[in-house]
């Protein structure tokens, strides 16, 4: 539930939503790329499982890995929600931003050396602008996207594709 933030709370309050956009991260693609683990993928897919929060501490001793896998959980939760909300006319998607020119993006760049490697692997060779991300969200909640549901939109300037190309050699 927490993955849906305000959108999920609005449904609980009886507000009818045509579309919900859940925010994940490009790290949802990077963690399984560098550390594929079907067990962890299945684990994050079911955050309502008995003892989930207790197991989080056992499974993730690194906050960066925990963040990436949590964002993978958001992508999977949006897929599940799309199945549940679809018959009621609701659409659910997730969006996975890459490096975006925000205070948080600048802080990550300054404090995490791996961020420069991600930027170097990004084919568009730049940070995304918050307005570019907002334009994708605007489209996703519009009537023009009325048949879009259950998918994640990776808005990363091609960084995940660039990382895959680097790994392939």
Q: Which domains does the chain have, with CATH numbers?
A: 2-12+22-98+127-154 (3.40.50.720)
pLDDT by residue, tens only, the chain of 169 residues = 333 444 444 444 455 568 999 999 999 999 988 888 999 999 999 888 999 988 988 888 888 889 999 999 999 999 999 999 999 889 999 999 999 999 999 999 999 888 999 999 999 999 999 999 999 999 999 999 999 999 999 999 999 999 999 999 8
Spot the catalytic one: 29, 67, 88, 164: 67
Spot the catalytic one: 29, 71, 88, 164: 71
- Based on the residue annotation, tell me whether 67 is a catalytic residue of this protein: yes
- What tokens does 31 get? 């963690």
Cα-Cα-Cα-Cα dihedral sign, residues 75, 79, 81, 85: positive
In the chain the first and final C-alpha atoms are separated, in Å, by 40
- Based on the residue annotation, tell me whether 71 is a catalytic residue of this protein: yes
Residue range 56-89, pLDDT digits in tens: 888 888 888 899 999 999 999 999 999 999 998 8
CB atoms closer than 10 angstroms to residue 119: 18
User: How far, in whole angstroms, is CA 160 from its chain's centroid?
Assistant: 13
Query: What pLDDT, on the 0 to 100 scale, is given for residue 4?
Result: 41
**pTM metric for this prediction:** 0.86
Q: Which helix (H) or strand (E) holds 55?
A: helix 52-59
- The total number of residues shown for the chain amounts to 169
- What is the biggest distance separating any 2 CA atoms in the chain, rounded to whole angstroms? 51
User: How far, in whole angstroms, is CA 33 from its chain's centroid?
Assistant: 14
């Amino acid at each position: 539930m927490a993955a849906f933030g305000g959108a999920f709370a609005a449904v609980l309050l009886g507000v009818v939503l045509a579309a919900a956009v859940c925010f994940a991260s490009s790290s949802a693609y990077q963690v399984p790329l560098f550390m594929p683990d079907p067990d962890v993928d299945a684990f994050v897919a079911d955050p309502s499982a008995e003892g989930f929060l207790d197991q989080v501490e056992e499974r993730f001793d690194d906050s960066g890995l925990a963040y990436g896998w949590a964002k993978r959980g958001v992508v999977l939760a949006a897929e599940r929600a799309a199945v549940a909300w679809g018959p009621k006319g609701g659409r659910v998607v997730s969006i996975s931003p890459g490096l975006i020119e925000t205070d948080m993006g600048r802080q990550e760049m300054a404090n995490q050396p791996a961020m420069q490697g991600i930027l170097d692997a990004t084919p568009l060779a730049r940070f995304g602008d918050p307005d570019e991300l907002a334009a994708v969200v605007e489209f996703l909640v519009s009537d023009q996207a009325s048949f879009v549901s259950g998918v994640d939109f990776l808005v990363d300037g091609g960084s995940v594709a660039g990382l895959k190309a680097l790994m392939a050699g």
